[in-house]
């Protein structure tokens, strides 16, 4: 496992794309765009990335809302500042409507919005069914993008863009699942840090 992590660390070093962009998009392509990397570590509304190469924070959501809305025990989101997300074609105007809280955001073709609780909006594609955004109005500086929409060369975990952690909201989650995920994440993060440190000292 450590050797594979070293190889991945070396690939990231060779790629050197730490200030580039990564595409996102639903399965049918109705909503797509890209995320921009930033050197900043937080915006004026609070921390949103780690002090770890400018990566965004990826969150494994385990709370009751995540389970009931997705039909599965885990949902996976990436916390992104609004200033770092872009949309292609019609998605750009739609993202702006969502950001500003305009009612027009609900009127766009092939998109639907659901409010599970006050101040929370979940957007998905009507055409392919993909979850797209999770908006919390109490955090106006950031938006959660469904991690499965990212098209990273690193694969589904997108480790060149994301540092992973468990969500704080674990109410109603299976304690066994939470513990296993916590241990797995800790082990993986330690392995990656060791691999990166070894690579840097060569």
pLDDT of 171 reads 66
pLDDT in tens, the chain (202 residues): 545 554 555 555 444 444 588 899 999 999 999 999 765 555 554 544 454 566 888 888 777 777 778 877 778 899 999 999 999 988 999 999 999 999 888 878 889 999 999 999 999 999 999 999 999 999 989 999 999 999 987 776 777 788 887 766 666 666 766 677 777 777 766 666 665 555 555 5
Structure tokens at 167: 């969500």
pLDDT of 142 reads 93
Beta bridge partners of residue 77, listed in sequence order: 59, 146
Domain boundaries, the chain: 19-200
Helices 175-200, 2-15: axis angle to 10 degrees equals: 60
pTM over 0.85: no
CATH for 19-200?
A: 2.170.150.70
pLDDT of 16 reads 41
d(CA 92, CA 183): 39
Contact 35, 21 (CB under 8 A): yes
Contact 165, 57 (CB under 8 A): yes
Structure tokens at 105: 């955001």
pLDDT of 15 reads 45
């Amino acid at each position: 496992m450590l050797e594979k992590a070293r190889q991945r660390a070396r690939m990231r070093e060779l790629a050197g794309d730490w200030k580039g962009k990564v595409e996102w998009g639903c399965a049918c392509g109705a909503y797509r765009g890209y995320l921009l990397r930033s050197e900043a570590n937080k915006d004026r509304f609070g921390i949103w990335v780690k002090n770890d190469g400018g990566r965004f924070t990826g969150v494994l959501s385990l709370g009751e809302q995540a389970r009931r809305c997705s039909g599965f025990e885990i949902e996976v989101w990436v916390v992104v500042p609004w200033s770092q997300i872009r949309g292609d074609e019609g998605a750009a105007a739609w993202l702006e409507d969502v950001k500003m809280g305009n009612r027009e955001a609900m009127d766009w073709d092939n998109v639907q919005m659901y409010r599970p609780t006050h101040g929370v909006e979940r957007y998905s594609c009507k055409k392919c069914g993909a979850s797209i955004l999770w908006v919390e109005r109490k955090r106006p500086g950031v938006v959660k993008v469904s991690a499965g929409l990212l098209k990273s060369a690193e694969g589904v975990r997108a480790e060149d863009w994301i540092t992973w952690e468990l969500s704080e909201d674990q109410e109603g989650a299976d304690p066994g699942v939470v513990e296993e995920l916590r241990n797995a994440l800790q082990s993986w993060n330690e392995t990656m840090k060791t691999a990166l440190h070894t690579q840097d000292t060569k």
